A and B are shown apart, each in its own frame.
Chain A
Amino acid sequence: MIVLEKRPEPSRGWSLATPVVAVVATMIFGGIVFGLLGTNPVAAIATIFWEPLFGEFAFYYRPQLLVKGAPLVLIAIGLSLGFRAGIWNIGAEGQYIVGALSGAAIGLAFYPAEGWYIFPLMVAGGALGGWAWAMIPGLLKVRFGTNEILVSLMLVYVAEQLLASMSLGLLKNPEGFGFPGSRNLQQYPSAHNAELIAGTGMHWGVATAMIAVILAYVLLNRHMLGYQIRLTGEAPRAARFAGVRPGRLILFCLGVSGALAGLAGLFEVSGPAGQVSIDFNVGYGFTAIIVAFLGRLHPVGILLAGLLMALTYIGGEIAQSSLGLPASAIQVFQGMLLFFLLALDVLTNYRIRLVQRERS
């Protein structure tokens, strides 16, 4: 009989190994799924993981890695703070949309004026928009004890409707011949989040993501607040006795994750996406949840996990066009990864033992 035995302390080795094992397991099972869909599994896995990095057109795909990875890392860093403390913000997608909307609105309000101050104002607006959207579940939780999971998620649907309304109404391009969508910010130099070094995919969002990783690392390992976050997650009662004020911690974690998601939205709308449109959001806010867990809620881990997840996005697109793999296959692949990760996590905290059944 197989029995789980709790380890006296979580295993460090397994804690580091589970993400790797989970990725390998997902490759195997994902390959089986791709095979069932009539695609050569080895070719599909190779296309997803090898082609973007070392293939013939890698010079085009490598910059995309940063472009797609930056919003994922930025959002996941914010989410990981809350997840560590047991505060579940799963509405990052909504905060991402609202951040993009408020930032873009500031930029569009200045059009066609030029000035160095416009882009920084947009950045501030984006962060503020995301923060404010996350404050709704935060304040409701602190004041009324409302479940933040449900409220933040409901607000995603509200934000999506808001996005539709804005791109068809208030923010619509007056010179757009009636097509939905705002002016293209890429053609407005003061508001354009251009590449810092041409051809590398390195834009302000990537830089901000790097800074966020470093700051999160310092916060969690060297700062009292980070200690309180970890303590609250691992022993909520002890945290109360140690003087942690849960309300303030909830507002801090939700606020930071909202602001970072808002920033990610702003950098996306003013850079790679270029305009506010109905289909602006592509699910980064939800994929970032997987990134946060894959990175073991650790800033450095999240950085690596974000890049890996960006790779599956890019590789998935290549596989779509060259192998005819459906777009949703990649979504299944990403979901599967989270399953394996959660399932294998048991090995970190428990030991599997074979026990002889006692004779009665």
Chain B
Amino acid sequence: MDLTAINPVLLVASLMVAATPLLLAAIGELVVEKSGVLNLGVEGMMIVGAICGFAMAVESGSPMLGFAAAAAGGALLSLLFALLTQVALANQVASGLALTLFGLGLSALLGQGYVGVKPPPSPRLDLPGLSDLPVVGPILFGHDPILYLGVVLTACVWVMLKFTRAGLILRAVGESHDAAHALGYPVVRIRILAIMFGGACAGLGGAYISLIRVPQWTEGMTAGIGWIALALVVFASWKPWRALLGAYLFGGVTVMQLNLQAAGVAIPVEYLAMSPYLVTILVLVILSADRSGAPAALGRIFHASN
């Protein structure tokens, strides 16, 4: 065992990379849940985003076009969920599960020809001087643009929910759809938009895994990250900055266990690989007592005649 091989600067830098897919998906889902909809299909939307982004990036040679395609793919798939739950008034838990099962199959189908292909590399931020600084450089100024987008998106969502009229309406819809409806707000339309935003974010997160973090395409490569993102929203008690904190925490656990595997710690690899999931359960247990932040209408079906 050689723990000195673990470089703390690289650890923090790779922690941020590992956290970004989680953060993107969680921020999207946070907005969806704030509007009163529980979309359990995050895993499905992420994996579809992962393959859409991967395929587009390989075909066009541009990773940024890939990310755009991933967001579109995720949003398109989430539209299916929106149709089911908002128009056909189906159970949200079941529809979310359906979305995940369907997404996993669809992505495997779309990705057949892309196994073993290398995606084009993504550009990194390179600020002369700043990126070359010893510790701060690789941590703060040496990443790809999508990582920064994740942080910016968190800030935007925070501002939107807390300080804008649009955010107030979104939260009103999530707290009491009947009251919002009575005030004349288009509940269904707002929710569909929120669901599509969540889908686009999940798609981006998925593409971040296949294009930057891994980077290659394998079936089922999201390996539960979408579900962890769902847990993260509970962890964050529906507050954007806490989602960022949580994502970095989970990113840290993931990166740490990978580093320990590489360093040859005496614990078997399988038990180290369990740790992110076990930590998720532990965190859920600790934080479940506080449900004060949960939108009151979360998961309830809205029908205007009621």
Q: Report if B164 contacts A (CB, 8 A).
A: no
Closest residue of chain A to B107 (Cβ to Cβ) is A328
Task: Tell whether, in the assembled complex, residue B94 and residue A342 are in contact, meaning their CB atoms are under 8 Å apart.
Answer: yes
Q: Which residues of B contact A344 (CB under 8 A)?
A: 88
Q: Report if B288 contacts A (CB, 8 A).
A: yes
CA distance A4 to B87 in the complex (A): 9
Among listed A120-128, A156-164, A194-202, interface-contacting one: A156-164
Task: Tell whether, in the assembled complex, residue A328 and residue B105 are in contact, meaning their CB atoms are under 8 Å apart.
Answer: yes
In the complex, number of A-B residue pairs with CB atoms less than 8 Å apart:
139
Q: Which residues of B contact A145 (CB under 8 A)?
A: 288-289, 291
Task: Tell whether, in the assembled complex, residue B281 and residue A154 are in contact, meaning their CB atoms are under 8 Å apart.
Answer: yes
Among listed B63-71, B167-175, B223-231, B237-245, interface-contacting one: B223-231
Task: Tell whether, in the assembled complex, residue A155 and residue B90 are in contact, meaning their CB atoms are under 8 Å apart.
Answer: no
CA distance A149 to B288 in the complex (A): 13
CB distance from A32 to the nearest CB of B (A): 13
Q: Which residues of A contact B40 (CB under 8 A)?
A: 149
Contact A332:B106 (CB < 8 A) given known A290-B101, A338-B98? yes
Q: Report if B274 contacts A (CB, 8 A).
A: yes
CA distance A164 to B227 in the complex (A): 21
Q: Report if B284 contacts A (CB, 8 A).
A: yes
Contact A158:B278 (CB < 8 A) given known A149-B40, A328-B109? yes
Picked from A90, A144, A146, A346, the residue with its CB within 8 Å of the CB of B89 is A346
Among listed B146-154, B208-216, B265-273, interface-contacting one: B265-273
Contact A329:B109 (CB < 8 A) given known A88-B93, A338-B101? yes
Q: Report if A35 contacts B (CB, 8 A).
A: no
CA distance A181 to B293 in the complex (A): 47
CA distance A146 to B230 in the complex (A): 13
Task: Tell whether, in the assembled complex, residue A157 and residue B102 are in contact, meaning their CB atoms are under 8 Å apart.
Answer: no
Task: Tell whether, in the assembled complex, residue A342 and residue B227 are in contact, meaning their CB atoms are under 8 Å apart.
Answer: no
Q: Which residues of A contact B84 (CB under 8 A)?
A: 339, 342-343
CA distance A331 to B105 in the complex (A): 5
Task: Tell whether, in the assembled complex, residue A345 and residue B108 are in contact, meaning their CB atoms are under 8 Å apart.
Answer: no
Closest residue of chain B to A327 (Cβ to Cβ) is B108
Task: List which A116-162 residues lie within 8 A (CB) of chain B.
Answer: 136, 140, 144-147, 149-151, 153-158, 161-162
Contact A332:B102 (CB < 8 A) given known A4-B89, A146-B288? yes
Q: Report if A286 contacts B (CB, 8 A).
A: yes
Closest residue of chain B to A290 (Cβ to Cβ) is B101
What 0/1 pattern do residues 259 to 292 of B give for CB contact below 8 A with A?
Answer: 0000000001011011001101100110011010
CB distance from A281 to the nearest CB of B (A): 13
Closest residue of chain A to B81 (Cβ to Cβ) is A339
Q: Which residues of B contact A155 (CB under 8 A)?
A: 277, 281
CB distance from B158 to the nearest CB of A (A): 24
Q: Report if B83 contacts A (CB, 8 A).
A: yes
Q: Which residues of A contact B91 (CB under 8 A)?
A: 342
Closest residue of chain A to B270 (Cβ to Cβ) is A165
Task: Tell whether, in the assembled complex, residue A286 and residue B101 are in contact, meaning their CB atoms are under 8 Å apart.
Answer: yes
CB distance from A145 to the nearest CB of B (A): 5
Q: Report if A5 contacts B (CB, 8 A).
A: yes
Q: A5, A154, A329 — which one has the most chain B CB atoms within 10 A of its CB?
A: A154
CA distance A321 to B102 in the complex (A): 23
Q: Which residues of A contact B101 (CB under 8 A)?
A: 286, 289-290, 331, 334-335, 338
Task: Tell whether, in the assembled complex, residue B224 and residue A334 are in contact, meaning their CB atoms are under 8 Å apart.
Answer: no
Q: Report if B97 contacts A (CB, 8 A).
A: yes
Task: Tell whether, in the assembled complex, residue A140 and residue B89 are in contact, meaning their CB atoms are under 8 Å apart.
Answer: no
Task: Tell whether, in the assembled complex, residue A154 and residue B224 are in contact, meaning their CB atoms are under 8 Å apart.
Answer: yes
Q: Which residues of B contact A169 (CB under 8 A)?
A: 268
Q: Which residues of B contact A158 (CB under 8 A)?
A: 274, 277-278
Q: Report if A293 contacts B (CB, 8 A).
A: yes
Q: Which residues of A contact B306 (CB under 8 A)?
A: 6
Task: Tell whether, in the assembled complex, residue A154 and residue B227 are in contact, meaning their CB atoms are under 8 Å apart.
Answer: yes
Contact A140:B281 (CB < 8 A) given known A88-B93, A147-B234, A346-B89? yes
Task: Tell whether, in the assembled complex, residue B224 and residue A342 are in contact, meaning their CB atoms are under 8 Å apart.
Answer: no
CA distance A330 to B106 in the complex (A): 10
Q: Report if B60 contacts A (CB, 8 A).
A: no
CA distance A88 to B97 in the complex (A): 11
CB distance from A23 to the nearest CB of B (A): 15
Q: Which residues of B contact A333 (CB under 8 A)?
A: 105
Picked from A4, A6, A150, A329, the residue with its CB within 8 Å of the CB of B231 is A150
Contact A289:B268 (CB < 8 A) given known A150-B227, A151-B281, A154-B281? no
Q: Report if A350 contacts B (CB, 8 A).
A: yes
CA distance A344 to B288 in the complex (A): 35
CB distance from A346 to the nearest CB of B (A): 4
CB distance from B73 to the nearest CB of A (A): 15
Contact A335:B102 (CB < 8 A) given known A328-B112, A342-B91? yes
Closest residue of chain B to A338 (Cβ to Cβ) is B98
Q: Report if A318 contacts B (CB, 8 A).
A: no
Task: Tell whether, in the assembled complex, residue B88 and residue A345 are in contact, meaning their CB atoms are under 8 Å apart.
Answer: yes
CB distance from A135 to the nearest CB of B (A): 13
Task: Tell whether, in the assembled complex, residue B271 and residue A165 are in contact, meaning their CB atoms are under 8 Å apart.
Answer: yes
Q: Report if A304 contacts B (CB, 8 A).
A: no
CB distance from A144 to the nearest CB of B (A): 5
Closest residue of chain A to B291 (Cβ to Cβ) is A145
Picked from A165, A335, A338, the residue with its CB within 8 Å of the CB of B106 is A335
Q: Report if A55 contacts B (CB, 8 A).
A: no
Task: Give 9 closest A-B pairs by Cβ, nearest first.
Answer: A331-B105, A335-B102, A328-B108, A165-B270, A332-B105, A342-B90, A338-B98, A346-B88, A154-B277
Besides A136-B281, A332-B105, 13 new A-B residue pairs in contact (Cβ under 8 A), listed by A number: A4-B89, A140-B281, A146-B281, A146-B284, A150-B284, A151-B281, A154-B227, A155-B281, A161-B271, A168-B270, A169-B268, A293-B94, A335-B102
Cross-chain pairs A/B with CB under 8 angstroms, 27 sampled: A4-B89, A136-B281, A145-B289, A150-B227, A151-B284, A154-B228, A162-B270, A165-B270, A165-B271, A168-B270, A328-B106, A329-B105, A330-B105, A331-B104, A331-B105, A332-B106, A332-B109, A335-B101, A335-B102, A335-B103, A335-B106, A338-B102, A342-B91, A342-B94, A343-B90, A345-B90, A346-B89
